[in-house]
């Protein structure tokens, strides 16, 4: 509630007095965060685009457009902070099936445009960021899959950062897929049942390419919803969760810095 009230004040006529204070506060937060441990891997559930659009008299496509621009802003801040891996929940497998076809087509087109703009900006090459997209890509238009495979291949050897995009993704489906492939390898004799441990199982997950970066240290969800919605169910077993009441298009740099500051103040227990 306080975050939404502060946002309304920021955009009100009184905002002319509030904005200088906001800039000072953002600078203070930046210095605090930079002096603490930076999470290696941040996962984001950018929720609330459609509700934000309705409140502003827009159709869902307008919300997704604003959400995409917000994601670019947030990614830029995360790279500047030194975060090594970012995983974004772009679309759930349920949304890839149930969502209105016109809205779904717009989302796919937006993702295709995002890939093109990322490549045109050269940010992937300058920062040496690897791109990996995972999920039920059989539900994705072939033109978009081709774009995905191209950018994955071109950035495959980059090691300074990783951008994961979970597209038509479901955590339960990922685990089931891993189990099926593992069982096939056991039945065929390529893998001994005695050799199946947690590390072996992880190698069958979509995120096995992350290697030493491992699972998310911090998961951020916007829009006030307090749930993980079938996102990275195996990987976030020991992640720190942070829920923000603002819709994703409203999410500001100070909100991101607060999330990381909150992470820095916690004592990670890993099941203890």
pLDDT for 55 beyond 90? yes
pLDDT bucket at 78, cuts 50 / 70 / 90: very high
**Lowest mean pLDDT, pick from 76-85, 127-136, 137-146, 206-215:** 206-215
Q: What's the pTM?
A: 0.92
Half-sphere exposure of 210 (CA within 13 A, CB side): 27
Asked whether residue 76 is domain-assigned, the answer is: yes
**Lowest mean pLDDT, pick from 9-23, 97-111, 218-232:** 9-23
pLDDT for 9 beyond 60? no
Cβ atoms 167, 91 nearer than 8 A: yes
Specify the higher pLDDT residue, 70 or 211: 70
Specify the higher pLDDT residue, 20 or 257: 257
Asked whether residue 30 is domain-assigned, the answer is: no
pLDDT for 195 beyond 70? yes
Alpha-carbon span 47 to 246, nearest angstrom: 9
Asked whether residue 184 is domain-assigned, the answer is: no
Domain count, the chain: 1
Alpha-carbon span 225 to 242, nearest angstrom: 11
CATH of the domain at 251: 3.40.1180.10
Quote the mean pLDDT of the chain: 92
pLDDT for 250 beyond 70? yes
Cβ atoms 164, 87 nearer than 8 A: yes
For residue 261, give the nearest of 235, 236, 240 by alpha carbon: 240
Half-sphere exposure of 179 (CA within 13 A, CB side): 7
Asked whether residue 49 is domain-assigned, the answer is: yes
| Residue numbers annotated as active site | 47, 95
Asked whether residue 33 is domain-assigned, the answer is: no
pLDDT for 1 beyond 80? no
Helix, strand or coil, per DSSP, at residue 174: helix
Asked whether residue 217 is domain-assigned, the answer is: yes
Asked whether residue 77 is domain-assigned, the answer is: yes
pLDDT bucket at 16, cuts 50 / 70 / 90: low
Asked whether residue 58 is domain-assigned, the answer is: yes
For residues 219-239, average pLDDT: 97
Find the domain containing 162 and state its range.
Answer: 38-169+206-265
pLDDT attached to residue 155? 96
Name the percent of the chain lying above pLDDT 90: 84
CB neighbour class for 96 (10 Å; exposed up to 12, middle 13-18, buried from 19):
buried
């Amino acid at each position: 509630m306080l975050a939404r009230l502060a946002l309304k004040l920021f955009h009100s006529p009184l905002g002319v007095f509030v904005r200088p204070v906001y800039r000072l506060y953002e600078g203070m937060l930046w210095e605090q965060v930079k002096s603490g441990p930076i999470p290696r891997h941040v996962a984001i559930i950018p929720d609330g685009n459609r509700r934000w659009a309705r409140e502003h008299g827009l159709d869902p496509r307008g919300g997704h457009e604003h959400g995409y621009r917000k994601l670019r802003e947030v990614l830029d801040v995360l790279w500047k902070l030194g975060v090594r891996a970012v995983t974004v929940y772009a679309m759930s497998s349920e949304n890839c099936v149930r969502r209105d076809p016109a809205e779904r087509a717009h989302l796919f087109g937006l993702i295709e445009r995002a890939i093109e703009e990322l490549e045109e900006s050269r940010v992937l090459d300058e920062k040496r960021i690897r791109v990996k997209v995972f999920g039920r890509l059989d539900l994705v238009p072939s033109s978009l899959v081709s774009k995905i495979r191209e950018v994955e291949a071109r950035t495959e050897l980059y090691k300074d950062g990783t951008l994961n995009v979970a597209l038509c993704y479901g955590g339960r489906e990922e685990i089931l897929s891993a189990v099926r492939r593992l069982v096939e390898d056991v039945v065929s004799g390529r893998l001994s049942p005695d050799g199946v441990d947690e590390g072996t199982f992880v190698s069958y997950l979509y995120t096995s390419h992350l290697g030493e970066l491992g699972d998310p240290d911090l998961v951020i969800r916007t829009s006030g919803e307090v749930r993980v919605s079938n996102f990275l169910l195996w990987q976030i077993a020991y992640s720190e969760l942070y829920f923000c009441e603002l819709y994703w298009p409203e999410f500001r740099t100070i909100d991101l810095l607060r999330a990381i500051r909150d992470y820095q103040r916690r004592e990670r227990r890993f099941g203890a």
